[in-house]
């Protein structure tokens, strides 16, 4: 096999692949960050006393978790520009507006990520022993302080494993954005394959990168868990 | 821009065709995914080191790889293997549909194998020992005790994975198969309304997902009725 194919430059595809990877990383990270934040808010909303809010959010989760990611991406990409144009029309602005594919894709993946993350957080908050919260309140802590010092640290530990899995899921969803014209890693590998007729090599290369990300995540997750659960380890620490 | 329902009705046959393709793919991938996953799960729990290592790599590979990458690798990469175009196998894989079923089944099998292996490990040891003590052969014990016991344990996770299979079928749009989303896209190209067809397709996906979840709940009740005794008694009283 000719390894120079993977080098940057006029004959190699290294720079195209690197640009694709960069897009994948930016898109994935932005979606995970926004999605996790929205998921936390949605979980708090679901657990709130406002019936309509919690039912609405529960319905949102069911819909988002049942519909293919590709459909959500397409709907947001087309739908957002239609929506913005429709909203601007009453103000006399009649120009054609196109949403940036990157932000449409990020928003779609974030909204999907949020639906799954909110289920994780909701389960974690519900698993917090009531006594801990009551003890905090009995000591005169404000509701916010109870959240910051008791609920959040416990819930975060409980949800960490599932959140790491979700991160991988969202990263694996990023190649779908090539449907709205973005050049991610898989798309770059496909272009390289088309030009060189060496699809196999380039797709294997992109798979190796994805698996490396997955392996890194697993190591990080194990490290984080050993550190966060230090107090639960039995006997003298190994 | 939103299209009127009369025009929309003329596209119903197209949507039905797309929905049939989606169902077809979901059913085939459910079957083949199960058939691939079960041996891998057994290998994962096997006493042989080599079998365990193989199963672990299989699961790691297909859980870490994006569906699109696997799909493209098989669709574009397989024809590159020297001599494959002369073999009988070629007739099978020269069409997109078998490739799609294979790629999606392998992907699903990666997740299923882990679910099955975990469930099989967690079947009550006492059940297995009792069966062996009563003179059931190892194979009979597996078939009549371990397998049903594991099925009880993994039904919920299995149901979630089936919804992922349904959503995963959307990837076939990238290799020229027209499923529900493809049909929605064709309606868009004919009517210049992207939103209505996608929303309708999304509603159909939602119905399919709810059907899967309901069927799995029903199976769960059938497999472990004693867990639902309280609920059933409450219903009977009311």
Q: What is the CATH number of the domain that holds A68?
A: 1.10.3720.10
Q: How confident is the model at residue B11 (pLDDT cuts 50, 70, 90)?
A: confident
Overall average pLDDT of the B138-158 stretch: 91
Nearest-by-Cβ selection for B195 from A79, A193, A206: A79
Nearest-by-Cβ selection for A68 from B80, B181, B195: B181
Whole-number Å distance between alpha carbons of B163 and B140:
32
Q: Do A74 and B194 touch (CB under 8 A)?
A: yes
Q: Do the Cβ atoms of B108 and B165 come closer than 8 Å?
A: yes
Whole-number Å distance between alpha carbons of B185 and B196:
10
Give the residue from A58, A67, A205 with the most B CB atoms within 10 Å of its CB, the best one to mutate. Answer: A67
Using CA coordinates, name the residue in chain A closest to B197. A75
On whether any CB of chain B is under 8 Å from the CB of A97, the answer is: no
Residue A236 lies inside a defined structural domain of this protein: no
Whole-number Å distance between alpha carbons of A186 and A174:
9
Residue A83 lies inside a defined structural domain of this protein: yes
The tokens for B155 are 């039904």
Q: Dihedral angle at the C-alpha atoms of A71, A75, A78, A84, nearest 10 degrees? A: -160
Q: Which pLDDT score is estimated for B180?
A: 95
Q: How confident is the model at residue A123 (pLDDT cuts 50, 70, 90)?
A: very high
- Which residue do the tokens 């060189």 mark? A196
Cβ contacts (< 8 Å) between B76 and chain A: which residues? 190, 193, 199-200, 203
Residue A75 lies inside a defined structural domain of this protein: yes
Q: What angle do CA B131, B134, B135 make, to 5 degrees?
A: 95
Whole-number Å distance between alpha carbons of A163 and B125:
32
Question: What's the domain count of chain A?
Answer: 1
Q: Do A207 and B73 touch (CB under 8 A)?
A: yes
Q: What is the per-residue pLDDT across A143-193, written as a single tens digit (0 to 9) for each?
A: 899 999 999 998 998 898 889 889 999 999 999 999 998 999 999 999 998
User: Which domain range does residue A23 map to?
Assistant: 12-229
DSSP B4: P
Using CA coordinates, name the residue in chain A closest to B22. A68
Residue A4 lies inside a defined structural domain of this protein: no
CATH value at residue B37: 1.10.3720.10
Q: Which pLDDT score is estimated for A238?
A: 44
A176-180, B114-118, B186-190 — which is least confidently predicted?
B186-190
Nearest-by-Cβ selection for B1 from A82, A171, A203: A82
- Which residue do the tokens 């299989």 mark? B58
Give the residue from B167, B183, B204 with the most A CB atoms within 10 Å of its CB, the best one to mutate. Answer: B167
How close B205 gets to chain A, by Cα (Å)?
6
Residue A223 lies inside a defined structural domain of this protein: yes
Q: How confident is the model at residue A83 (pLDDT cuts 50, 70, 90)?
A: confident
Overall average pLDDT of the A115-122 stretch: 95
Nearest-by-Cβ selection for A211 from B61, B81, B181: B61
Q: Do the Cβ atoms of B172 and B179 come closer than 8 Å?
A: yes
Question: What's the domain count of chain B?
Answer: 1
User: Which domain range does residue B29 map to?
Assistant: 5-237
On whether any CB of chain B is under 8 Å from the CB of A161, the answer is: no
The tokens for A120 are 């994780």
Within a 10 A sphere around the Cβ of A217, how many other Cβ atoms? 16
CB-neighbour burial class of residue B76 (10 A; exposed 0-12, middle 13-18, buried 19+):
buried
Nearest-by-Cβ selection for A71 from B60, B63, B205: B205
The tokens for B217 are 């709940």
On whether any CB of chain B is under 8 Å from the CB of A60, the answer is: no
Q: Which pLDDT score is estimated for A235?
A: 58
Q: Do B73 and A186 touch (CB under 8 A)?
A: no
How close A63 gets to chain B, by Cα (Å)?
6
Using CA coordinates, name the residue in chain A closest to B205. A67
Q: From the centroid of its chain, how far is CA A221?
A: 16
The H or E element containing residue B28 is helix B12-44
Q: Do A79 and B181 touch (CB under 8 A)?
A: no
In sequence order, which residues have a C-beta less than 8 Å from that of residue A97 and are 6 or more positions away? A81, A84, A85, A88
Within a 10 A sphere around the Cβ of A197, how many other Cβ atoms? 10
Whole-number Å distance between alpha carbons of B165 and B104:
8
- DSSP assignment of B147-214, as one string? HHHHHHHHHHHHHHHHHHHHHHGGGGGGGT---HHHHHHHHHHHHS--HHHHHHHHHHHHHHHHHHHH
CB-neighbour burial class of residue B80 (10 A; exposed 0-12, middle 13-18, buried 19+):
middle
| 3-state secondary structure (DSSP) of residue A124 | helix
């Amino acid at each position: 096999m000719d390894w120079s194919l993977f080098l940057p430059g006029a004959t190699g595809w290294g720079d195209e692949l690197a640009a694709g990877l960069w897009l994948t990383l930016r898109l994935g990270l932005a979606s995970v960050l926004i999605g996790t934040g929205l998921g936390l808010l949605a979980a708090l909303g679901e657990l709130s006393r406002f019936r309509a809010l919690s039912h609405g959010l529960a319905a949102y989760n069911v819909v988002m978790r049942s519909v293919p990611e590709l459909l959500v991406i397409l709907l947001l990409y087309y739908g957002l520009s239609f929506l913005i144009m429709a909203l601007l029309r009453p103000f006399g602005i009649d120009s054609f507006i196109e949403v940036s594919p990157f932000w449409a894709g990020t928003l779609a993946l974030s909204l999907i990520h949020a639906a799954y993350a909110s289920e994780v957080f909701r389960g974690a908050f519900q698993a917090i022993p009531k006594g801990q919260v009551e003890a905090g309140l009995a000591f005169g802590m404000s509701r916010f302080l109870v959240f910051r010092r008791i609920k959040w640290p416990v819930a975060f530990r409980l949800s960490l494993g599932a959140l790491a899995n979700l991160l991988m899921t969202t990263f694996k969803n990023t190649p779908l954005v090539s449907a709205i014209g973005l050049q991610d890693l898989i798309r770059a590998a496909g272009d390289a394959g088309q030009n060189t007729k060496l699809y196999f090599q380039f797709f294997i290369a992109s798979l190796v990168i994805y698996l490396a990300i997955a392996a890194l995540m697993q190591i990080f997750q194990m490290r984080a868990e050993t550190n966060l659960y230090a107090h639960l380890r039995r006997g003298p620490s190994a | 821009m939103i299209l009127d329902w009369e025009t929309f009705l003329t596209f119903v046959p197209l949507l039905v065709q797309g929905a049939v393709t989606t169902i077809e793919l979901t059913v085939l991938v459910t079957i083949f995914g199960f058939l691939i996953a079960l041996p891998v799960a057994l290998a994962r729990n096997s006493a042989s080191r080599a079998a365990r290592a193989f199963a672990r790599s299989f699961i790691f590979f297909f859980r870490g790889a994006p569906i699109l990458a696997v799909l493209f690798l098989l669709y574009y990469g397989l024809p590159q293997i020297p001599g494959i175009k002369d073999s009988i196998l070629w007739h099978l894989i020269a069409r997109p549909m078998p490739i799609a079923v294979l790629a999606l089944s392998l992907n699903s099998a990666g997740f299923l194998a882990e679910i099955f292996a975990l469930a099989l490990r967690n079947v009550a040891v006492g059940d297995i020992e009792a069966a062996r003590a009563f003179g059931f052969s190892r194979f009979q014990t597996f078939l009549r005790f371990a397998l049903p016991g594991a099925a009880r344990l993994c039904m919920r996770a299995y149901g979630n994975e089936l919804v992922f299979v349904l959503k995963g079928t959307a990837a076939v749009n990238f290799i020229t198969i027209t499923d529900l989303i493809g049909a929605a896209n064709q309606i868009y190209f004919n009517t210049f309304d992207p939103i209505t067809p996608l929303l309708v397709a999304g509603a159909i996906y939602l119905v399919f997902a709810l059907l899967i979840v309901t069927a799995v709940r029903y199976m769960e009740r059938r497999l472990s009725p004693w867990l639902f005794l309280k609920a059933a008694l409450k219903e009977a009283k009311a």
